[in-house]
């Protein structure tokens, strides 16, 4: 199985955080089998990526990474469960609140 690679080519993120001009590709590589990625703009201009990764059997883990200054943070686990409904049409997402907290 090939590793999960997300290349974001969407300029909406730059517009959402007040950017102007071309948007660089944001490449992120996760473990094999990962998917259902969602990218959101943070309040400070960072990119917030969420995705699901398989763990064992039917279990999956919801992960998040934040890109600041051109560098992705180490992925953090939000939740691990065997109750996720994993398919191409549904994806986990977070939004940045004015208090700089994240909400899902």
Which class for 86: exposed (0-12), middle (13-18), buried (19 or more C-beta within 10 A)? middle
Q: What is the pLDDT along the chain (104 residues), one digit of tens a residue?
A: 444 555 444 444 444 555 555 556 677 777 788 888 888 878 777 888 888 988 888 899 999 998 888 888 999 999 898 888 888 777 787 777 676 555 55
Return left, alpha or beta for 94; rule: phi > 0 is left, psi -120 to 50 is alpha, else beta.
beta
SS3 call for 14: helix
Domain ranges of the chain: 4-103
| pTM for this entry | 0.72
Distance CA 6, CA 38 (A): 10
């Amino acid at each position: 199985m090939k590793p999960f690679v997300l290349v974001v080519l969407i300029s909406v993120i730059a517009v959402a955080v007040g950017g102007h001009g071309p948007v660089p590709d944001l490449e992120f590589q996760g473990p094999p089998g990962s998917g259902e990625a969602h990218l959101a703009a943070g309040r400070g201009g960072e990119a917030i990526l969420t995705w699901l990764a398989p763990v064992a059997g039917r279990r999956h883990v919801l992960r998040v990474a934040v890109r600041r200054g051109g560098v992705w943070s180490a992925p953090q686990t939000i939740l691990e469960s065997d109750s996720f409904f994993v398919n191409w049409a549904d994806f986990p997402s977070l939004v940045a609140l004015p208090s700089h907290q994240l909400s899902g």
